A and B are shown apart, each in its own frame.
Chain A
Amino acid sequence: MPLDFELSDEQKLVRTAVKTMLAKYLPRQKEILAQSRAEKRFPEELWQEYANVGLTGCLVPEKYGGNNMGLVALALGFEEVTYSGFSPGLLLVIAMDTACIVRNGTEEQKQRFLPKIADGSWKLCFAVTEPNAGTNTFNIETAAKRDGDSYILNGQKTFISGVDSADYMLVVARTTSLEELKEQGKPKSFGMSLFLVDTKSKGIEMHDIAIPLSEELNQFQLFFDDLQVPADNLVGEEDNGIMAMFNSLNPERILAAAICIGMAESALNKAVAYAGERRVFKDTPIGAYQSIAHPLAEVKIALEAARLMTYKAAWAFDNGHNPLEVGSYANMAKFMAADLAVKAIDHAIETHGGLGFTEEVGLISQWSGARLFKTAPVSREMILNYVAEQNLGLPKSY
């Protein structure tokens, strides 16, 4: 079979569709972003447009109201959103929650959740991180105990994005505690389960964490105190949620890469336009100096490479490749794209001289947004560990 790097006609149209959808907001962009930052809320009007154009329905099969265009299409949409200077908001976590429900949910859960996700009426967030379990997910302690037709959750989560605007959150909890595992001689990967929790439930306490990022998503520390969750909301098998969770992290990483690519391309274009115009000595545009031109050329090379890796990862996901294989591509794509975005924005700042620091040019706030993706949703170090172990077969140090 021939190797084909062409996007399909339909995939090509996705960026155009999203670009046209955003066009009417561009003239008011500064105002919209300033308002949503002041109100600490993602603009609902824009959210409905995201749903209307179909970004919430890409991973949802048609029979549940989605367009099923897949992760490549969604990645293209994400690129356009961040290229245009907007944030995808909760779309990133919703995509992973959607993938999780589609691939592991019961028929009843699919019918209950997917149509509402696709049409934008329900937002979802994702809660795995705990104070003692960030990078090391196996350390989570939040407990879920079966009680009749329900599970009772106790414990805490931290850094959870968008709980304030989400209708449901996908929570990772332990149905078998670490002590029980020790007694039973079972591995730490056992005993974790996934639950769809109504964010309005009794027994959830939220505390805002101050994180000065430019995106309109707030992070929270959560305390669960006898939080009752209907047993119907368990996604996948009890005690065997770990693979469902890790497989759903792949689309999140791929989309994080797409976000970074959009940001990098936007910064690069800004820098190139400025370098072609700005004259500091005589009549030579600064873009003629190799100290300005070469770093931008390097960014362009890295951009093309990261984009290929991201599409390959999304393609492998859409085609149902083995999750470990998808995971390798997804990790590599996120690693390349996050480094690229930070580098692209840094060089764009450098090219703009003093102007690079102004709010008007907007690069500094983009830099903090891009920098996040070196650390979250998975850190550079953990990706390097993954590649060393999974792809190179080197021994594990931790």
Chain B
Amino acid sequence: MHIIVCVKQVQDWDIPPSSFKIDEATKVVTPPAGVAPVPSQFDTIGVEAAMRLKDNDPDAKVTIMSMGPEGARDVIKHSLAMGADEGLLLTDPLFEDLDWYQVALVLSAAVKKAEDANLVICGRQAVDWDMGVSGSGIAELLDWPALTICKDVQVSDGTLSVERVLMDGYETVEAALPAVVTVSNELGEPRYPKLQQIMQAAKKQVTVWSAADLGLDASQLGADARKLTLERLYVPVSDVECLIMEGDTPEEKAQNLAKALAEAKLI
């Protein structure tokens, strides 16, 4: 089994939103200087899912694939230090400023080029733009089944079995490999890299592919080929008002709450 985990480098979500600058005119977000980017939260959960499969099947190969600038090597290193085998960095000036379709095009082309890959794992969504379409997009372009928002991923005898998170519980779905899986935080905490593994990761190979290596060019990756137009980028203004229900007893507070909701014509 050869698992490719897609890991995106994003801005650290721990930094307060107020420290981001948004230029509405150019539709560009500028993060604060000097804060190191991190792997998208759900993607490290994807690495965890892959590593659990590898724990059960030590012959499985786990490749970490990241599309981004040269600096995206850092998130690959992070995942390699979690125990993955190899890294794959997709970097090219043409890869800057793609829409979700073009991203899926690049990632699926790389999966195809990797030839023996038979399971792709993505996070349910990237924590920066929250689109949640890359996994399904890759599956569509590869014509593989997509199993989204999973909290458990198992493979036995070439059959994939996952538990998908639903609003009111979960469902178990099976599919034959090859397939694409997206994982959710319900899968559990990702393992942390150990210092020993960080040292070992330094020796692991990271292959670099450009657009040309993937047989892609500006006709597919240029601005004209975008399918998505960004209309407006702005910080939403929140005018939520907080109302504390007064009352001496919980019962009285509940009555006041019911009254308030009725007055607001919500119940």
Q: What is the CB-to-nearest-CB distance from B35 to chain A, in angstroms, rounded to a whole number?
A: 12
- A-side contacts of B77, CB under 8 Å: 9-10, 13
Residues from chain B with a CB closer than 8 A to the CB of A24 are: 189
Given the interface contacts A10-B199, A16-B78, does A54 sit within 8 Å of B194 by beta carbon?
Answer: yes
B9-23 vs A, Cβ < 8 Å mask (1 yes, 0 no): 000000010100000
Q: Mark B75-86, 1 if CB is under 8 A from A, else 0.
A: 001100100000
Residues of B within 8 A of A124 (CB): none
Provide the residues of chain A in CB contact with B193, threshold 8 Å.
13, 16-17, 20
The answer to whether B198 touches A17, judged by C-beta atoms less than 8 angstroms apart, is: yes
State in angstroms the CA–CA spacing of A13 and B197 once bound together. Answer: 11
Closest-by-CB residue of B relative to A8 is: B202
Once the chains are docked, how many angstroms separate the CA of A234 from the CA of B167?
65
Main secondary structure, interface of B, reads: helix
A residues within 8 A CB of B18? Answer: 276
Q: How far is the CA of A62 from the CA of B18 in the complex (A)?
A: 45
Interface size class of A (residues with CB under 8 A): 20 to 34
The answer to whether B192 touches A21, judged by C-beta atoms less than 8 angstroms apart, is yes
Shortest Cβ distance from A55 into B: residue: B195
Chain B positions within 8 Å of A73 at CB level: 195
Report Cα–Cα, A100/B192, bound state, in Å.
29
Task: Provide the residues of chain A in CB contact with B16, threshold 8 Å.
Answer: 273
- Is B8 an interface residue when CB atoms closer than 8 A count as contact? no
Evaluate contact between A53 and B192: CB separation under 8 angstroms. Answer: yes
Q: Mark A2-24, 1 if CB is under 8 A from B, else 0.
A: 00000001101110110011011
Question: Is there a chain B Cβ closer than 8 Å to A296's Cβ?
Answer: no
Report how far A33 CA is from B204 CA in the complex, Å. Answer: 39
Asked whether, in the complex, the Cβ of B199 is within 8 Å of the Cβ of A67, the reply is yes
Q: Which residues of B contact A54 (CB under 8 A)?
A: 194-196, 198
Residue A132 interfacial (CB < 8 Å): no
Q: Are A67 and B192 in contact, CB atoms less than 8 angstroms apart?
A: no
Question: What chain A residues lie within 8 Å of B196 (beta carbons)?
Answer: 54, 57, 67
Identify the A interface with B (CB < 8 A). 9-10, 12-14, 16-17, 20-21, 23-24, 52-55, 57-58, 67-69, 73, 77, 273, 276
**A68→B195 CA distance, assembly (Å):** 9
Whether the Cβ atoms of A17 and B199 lie closer than 8 Å is no
A20 & B195 in contact (Cβ 8 Å cutoff): no
Name the B residues within 8 Å of A69 (CB-CB): 195, 198-199
Task: Report which residue of A16, A55, A276 has the largest number of chain B beta carbons within 10 angstroms of its beta carbon.
Answer: A16
In the docked arrangement, what's the CA distance between A53 and B189, Å?
Answer: 15
Whether the Cβ atoms of A17 and B74 lie closer than 8 Å is no
Which residues on the A side are within 8 Å of B190 (C-beta)? 20
A10 to B190, CA, bound (A): 19
Determine whether the beta carbon of B189 is less than 8 Å from that of A17. Answer: no
- B36: CB under 8 A from chain A? yes
Residue of A nearest to B81 (CB): A13
Cβ distance A21 to chain B, nearest Cβ, rounded Å? 4
The distance from the CB of A308 to the nearest CB of chain B, in whole angstroms, is 15
B73 within 8 A of A: yes
Q: Give the chain B neighbours of A10 by CB distance below 8 A.
A: 77, 198-199, 201-202
Can you name the residue of chain B whose Cβ is closest to the Cβ of A54?
Answer: B195
The 7 closest A-B pairs by CB, nearest first: A54-B195, A20-B192, A67-B196, A67-B195, A21-B192, A17-B193, A13-B198
Q: CA separation between A9 and B77, bound complex, in Å?
A: 8
Partner among B38, B74, B189 whose Cβ is within 8 Å of the Cβ of A9: B74
| In the complex with contacts A10-B202, A13-B81, A24-B189, A58-B74 CB distance below 8 A | no
Q: How far is the CB of A68 from chain B (nearest CB, A)?
A: 8
- Give the distance in Å from the alpha carbon of A55 to the alpha carbon of B192 in the complex: 13
Most chain A C-beta atoms within 10 Å of own C-beta, residue among B16, B77, B194, B201: B194
Bound complex: CA A55 to CA B195 (Å): 8
